[in-house]
Amino acid sequence: MVVHGYNAVGFVPEDAPAFAWQRFAEEKALLHSFNALQKRYQKPVVLATAMTPLESQMVQGLIAEGLRFQHRLDDTAAVLAALRDYTIFHGG
């Protein structure tokens, strides 16, 4: 499973309305749930985004919480190709 580009760009100001923080929390929880699918189904999930932690509060926070992101599509493709090769050679 590849999840690409699903997260908030920019930063939510401290004084933002409650609905903005609720939306931020919901999107963050969704990305955590995508990542949790790895453990549940023993299948890889690749989170990919073009945004860096300097451009997105969401990416910054999720990386700090231990999630891994690929930031370039060619890197994402290389990870997927390596996972495919591993499966072929190791019968996974």
pLDDT tens-place string over residues 15-35: 999 999 998 999 899 989 989
The CA angle 76-2-67, to the nearest 5 degrees, is: 80
Give percent of the chain with pLDDT exceeding 90. Answer: 37
State the residue range of the domain holding 84. 2-90
End-to-end CA distance of the chain: give it in Å, rounded: 16
What is the arithmetic mean of pLDDT over 50-73?
90
What is the arithmetic mean of pLDDT over 67-72?
88
Q: Structurally, how many domains does the chain consist of? A: 1
Residue with tokens 């549940």: 40
Residue with tokens 């996972």: 83
In the prediction, which pLDDT does 14 show?
93
From the CB of residue 14, how many other CB atoms can be counted at a distance below 10 Å?
A: 6
pTM assigned to the model: 0.78
